[in-house]
Structure 1
Amino acid sequence: MKRIVFIVALLGFGLICLQQRSYADKKVSHAEYAKSPISECNECHKGEGIAPNHGADFVREHRVLAGKANKNCNQCHDQAWCLDCHQGGGTGDDLSKDQAGRDYKPKTHRSDWISIHPIKSQDNPQQCYRCHDQKYCTDCHSKFPRNNLKSLGFKSHDNQLGARWGFEHGSEARRSLQSCQTCHSDGDVCKKCHSAKTGGVSPHPRNFKAGNYKDRSGSRTCLQCHLPGRF
């Protein structure tokens, strides 16, 4: 009799352990707890090693914790949750271990970003707000008169006459070819005039070095006229 009671008790204990394990492994939707205080989260998560570190600035600071070897983000989040911001719906970048530092910058933030950021900020301001608050912008923009802000970087030519821009666009392109490619990514606009095929202005200015332009444009502009591997 004692043996039977012992076996039944042992089986019951095993079922309880399995049930607790299944609950621990199952990812439950936490949408209803989004506005709950940290103390309420700790009622369930205190024993699972999940620290109450999701503070107000966690959107910027989470990369430090995510880059650590003992990170436990996947106890609540899967990779798709991260990609909501880091790909497609956010900065357009894939995640990798070498992007986990505090100085991480999206691929769009290249060397001429100060010149072309007005275009991107007008295109989709919500992308900027994922990392920057309004004060980040005003720290710089407040130093200049409002009507001078557009002259700080990219020179818009939406309202300029074609003949006038024809004289001025060359200096902008030489200063930062990549800023032109923000809108004219394939160089098709350039080819209308700057092509040996059309007999227009030579696309190769004085002291032209093919390597410089090829590297800066990712070869996209060159491929409008040249075959791959032939320039």
Structure 2
Amino acid sequence: ADLAECADCHIQVAQSASLLDKLLPDHESCKTCHDVEDESTCTTCHYEDKFEALIQTKSELIFNHSFHINDKGLECKVCHEGLSTVDYSSELSNPNPAMVKCYSCHNNEPGSPAANECESCHISTANLNPQSHKSAMFIDKHKFAARELGADCMMCHDNNSCEDCHVASGITATNSSKDFYQPYTPGNFIDGIKQQRITRIHDLNYRFTHGIDAKGKTTECSGCHEVETFCSTCHASVDHDFALSGVMPVSHLKNNFFTIGVGSGGGEHAILARRDIESCVACHDVQGADPTCITCHLDSDGIKGTNPKTHPTNFRSDEHGDWHNDQGSVCYNCHSSAGPQSISGVGFCGYCHGAK
């Protein structure tokens, strides 16, 4: 006989838009293959001599089977893993998918096909803490859980969660474990809130090796540090006692780091900026406020083609840009000859809007 498909028994699933629907098989679906009137065969499905209707567990989740099956083309086994290895689903500790399986699509990665908000799947967002988080000492010991192989804190947390205690954006000097940082909530004897000590995350020699992590993107430095100010403590100060004071990246010392002239391509700095603009941000404000950039990247005359190319091809295809109505738009840091009240067809506005 042919192997049964999931839909042969769970016939309602493909049309179900809610986990409140009846998704377990009943006698009507079973009798297409089984003799449901023969009491001697009841134990085929009803184990432990409990000859009663299967009771569906109430779910606290939002899930649309029809959408995932019919619109997204997902097979049952993508989420319900392990069923092909057992005779009865009861042999599995939990035949339903774990949250980590949902996270394979519902994440914040670029190009993610699904939303990551808790409300997308959870009917109620109250008390969603995993069992491991309910330990009385979890706050003190959570760093060990975070370091475990396979730990994925970002499934539920973002950097803001960590910054409630581990705030380093204001620490630009010693940044040692003795530094104190006042949390956002005032403390008193009732709520038990007290000053938080910045936890030492990096080893004592990290300043000599941190460049490897920063360059390789293995660590998101900006999650804790204000890179525009934090990095310059060592990399720009000439009167600091750190060994790295005044260091300029090797790439900046190349003869062709800057090339001037329309069509020159800008030299090595343009190549590096297109490849990894985040590295530039460590020292420079790439949004135009840094005089290092706008010394050249400045459109003060409103004449197209006379200034270094900054934007990629088709950058202006977004006709709904904020430059149309926001006087504080970042565009006007460089395009200084224009504003939302400028005359159509003149200067910067004339790049798109011809003279009338």
TM normalised by structure 1 equals 0.31
Higher Cα Rg, which structure: 2
TM normalised by structure 2 equals 0.22
By percentage of residues, which structure has more helix? 1
Higher RCO (C-alpha 8 Å, min separation 6)? 1
